[in-house]
């Protein structure tokens, strides 16, 4: 049985005009997402992630292209799309003076839920997002992590089959980030919700997403599972230490032969080489070096990260192109 995609886009493009110059924020986004998938949209600052999300959530119209989200056309049926999705933008939502529990009920009313249903749903979300202890606090009394969890509860109030989270963990400490992910994963397990999340954090995309879309300069430049991206686009870094610089030099052709890649001679009688599935080559490399009479003092294999994938794709490091983690967010338009 084939399942219809919950997100399907064809050539989705957004251009802005800034000082009379066109800015291509998103170019030719063509993707298909299956219900229940957890997709991470990864890319540096300004890559076009938020703009993509804002088109998919009907907040801004595309310049070109089409998209169906939750079964409806984003241009022609934006109301139908909005009724079936949750969206948590970059700025915290919530009326500051309202209590957490009341805030959830207001959101339910906004989506036309019956009060009894809204109260039941609010109880469920308060329990699964660990908000019990702060239920009667006002929004302004919450910590950053608590506010972010409330945001997610608000986005899920009407039990949407699809939720978009725009950088849900930016600005949170590592513990709150881990908690937030734990809650998001549990909600997904319990409700089968499709989660589409943008993040700057490579580790998060690597660890939690089953599919990673890498975006750069408005275009999706890779789309696969994190392990597949790493296996095909980046390699393990193998490093060997020898007793002398002469031995290290003599190891170069041996390692080139075993790995099929060009090894680099480093300082301190060290040689490194990057090779796909390199960890599997490590024993063979050590045997070949031994057979050549070269004494290997140390041998390490470091698996690639998504940053290595980005580097292989663009020649730039994702972290370098990204803004500093503590830099304040630029103000953005939000909608709920």
Ligand X SMILES: Nc1ncnc2c1ncn2[C@@H]1O[C@H](COP(=O)(O)OP(=O)(O)OP(=O)(O)O)[C@@H](O)[C@H]1O
Residues that bind ligand X (CB under 6 A): 16, 18, 23, 25, 43, 45-51
Query: Closest distance between ligand X and the C-beta of residue 16, in Å?
Result: 3
Positive or negative torsion for Cα 309, 310, 311, 314: positive
Rounded to whole angstroms, the Cα distance separating 134 from 222 reads 41
Positive or negative torsion for Cα 147, 175, 222, 47: positive
Nearer to ligand X, 115 or 323 (CB): 323
Nearer to ligand X, 103 or 167 (CB): 167
Residues with Cβ within 8 Å of 268's Cβ and at least 6 positions away in sequence, in order, are 241
Nearer to ligand X, 23 or 292 (CB): 23
Q: Work out the burial of residue 121: count CB atoms within 10 Å of its CB; fewer than 13 is exposed, 13-18 middle, 19 or more buried.
A: buried
Nearer to ligand X, 1 or 18 (CB): 18
Nearer to ligand X, 116 or 324 (CB): 324
Query: Tokens representing 320?
Result: 């370098």
Query: Closest distance between ligand X and the C-beta of residue 34, in Å?
Result: 23
Query: Closest distance between ligand X and the C-beta of residue 7, in Å?
Result: 17
Q: What is the DSSP string of 285-325?
A: HHHHHHHTT--EEEEEEE---HHHHHHHHHSS-HHHHSPPT
Give the SS3 label for residue 224: strand
Nearer to ligand X, 107 or 199 (CB): 199
Query: Closest distance between ligand X and the C-beta of residue 48, in Å?
Result: 4
| Reduced DSSP (H G I as helix, E B as strand, rest coil) percent helix, strand, coil of the chain, to 5 | 40, 25, 35
What is the H or E stretch that residue 238 is in? Answer: strand 236-242
Query: Closest distance between ligand X and the C-beta of residue 19, in Å?
Result: 10
Query: Closest distance between ligand X and the C-beta of residue 83, in Å?
Result: 24
Nearer to ligand X, 120 or 323 (CB): 323
Rounded to whole angstroms, the Cα distance separating 48 from 173 reads 25
Query: Closest distance between ligand X and the C-beta of residue 4, in Å?
Result: 27
């Amino acid at each position: 049985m084939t399942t219809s995609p919950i997100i399907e886009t064809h050539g989705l493009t957004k251009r802005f005009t800034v000082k009379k110059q066109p800015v291509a924020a998103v170019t030719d986004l063509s993707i298909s997402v299956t219900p229940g998938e957890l997709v991470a949209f990864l890319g540096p600052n300004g890559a076009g992630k938020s703009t993509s999300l804002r088109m998919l959530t009907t907040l801004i119209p595309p310049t070109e292209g089409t998209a169906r989200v939750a079964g409806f056309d984003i241009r022609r049926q934006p109301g139908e799309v909005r009724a079936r999705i949750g969206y948590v933008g970059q700025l915290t939502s919530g009326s500051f003076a309202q209590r957490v529990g009341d805030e959830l009920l207001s959101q339910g009313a906004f989506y036309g839920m019956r009060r009894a249903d809204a109260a039941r749903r609010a109880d469920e979300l308060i329990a699964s997002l660990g908000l019990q202890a702060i239920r009667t606090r006002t929004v302004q009394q919450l910590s950053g992590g608590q506010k972010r969890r409330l945001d997610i509860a608000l986005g899920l109030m009407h039990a949407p089959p699809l939720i978009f989270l725009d950088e849900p963990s930016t600005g949170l400490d590592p513990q709150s980030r881990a908690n937030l992910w734990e809650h998001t994963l549990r909600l997904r397990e319990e409700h089968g919700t499709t989660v589409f999340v943008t993040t700057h954090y490579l580790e998060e995309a690597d660890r939690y997403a089953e599919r990673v879309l890498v975006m750069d300069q408005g275009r999706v430049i890779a789309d696969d599972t994190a392990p597949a991206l790493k296996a095909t686009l980046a390699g393990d870094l193998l490093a060997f230490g020898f007793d002398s610089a002469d031995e290290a030099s003599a190891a170069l052709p041996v390692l080139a032969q075993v790995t099929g890649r060009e090894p680099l001679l480093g300082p301190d009688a060290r040689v490194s080489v990057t090779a796909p599935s390199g960890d599997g080559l490590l024993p063979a490399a050590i045997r070949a070096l031994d057979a050549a009479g070269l004494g290997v003092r140390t041998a390490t294999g470091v698996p690639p990260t998504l940053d290595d994938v980005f580097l292989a794709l663009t020649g730039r490091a994702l972290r370098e192109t990204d803004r500093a983690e503590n830099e304040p967010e630029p103000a953005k338009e939000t909608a709920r």
